[in-house]
Amino acid sequence: MQINIEIIGNTLVAKLFGELDHHCCDEVRAAVDREIERGRIKNLVFDLDGVSFMDSSGIGVIAGRYKKIKEFGGRTLIIRARPQVDRVLELSGIKKILECG
């Protein structure tokens, strides 16, 4: 999995490429948490346009980051989910909690 981190103002944009499963969720968790812990960002955007597959392990990673961001009063947004990814997001109920565009 390739992870591109970009900071725009106080928002972290994490662009993911590849398949977001249990095998690579540690990598995504570490990359995003590193930025959260630096304390420079408030909001988080997951750009999933490059994610060709995701399962419930991906839901766990996204939900975990959402909780951390929320602790500091920030917002989490998911953008550009492809159909397979969107079906898993939908089923998990996470779309009702955070924002999806």
Partner 1 sequence: MNNKNENFMRLDFPSKSCNESFSRAAVAAFASQLDMNIEELADIKTAVSEAVTNSIVHGYRGIKGIIHIECRISGDSITVTVRDEGRGIEDVERAMQPLFTTDRDGERSGMGFTVMQTFMDKLSVDSVYGEGTTVTMTKTIGGEADGDFGEI
Ligand X SMILES: Nc1ncnc2c1ncn2[C@@H]1O[C@H](COP(=O)(O)OP(=O)(O)OP(=O)(O)O)[C@@H](O)[C@H]1O
Q: Give residues in contact with ligand X (CB under 6 A).
A: 56-57, 60
Among 6, 7, 10, 22, binds partner 1 (CB under 8 A): 22
Token couple for 5: 């981190």
Contact between 11 and partner 1 by CB under 8 A: the answer reads no
Distances (CA, A) of 13 to 36, 55, 91, 93: 11, 21, 24, 22
Rounded (to 5) percent helix, strand, coil in the chain: 45, 35, 20
**Nearer CB in complex with ligand X: 13/97:** 97
Residue ranges binding partner 1 (CB under 8 A): 19, 21-23, 25, 29, 53, 55-57, 59-61, 63-64, 83-84, 87-88, 91-92
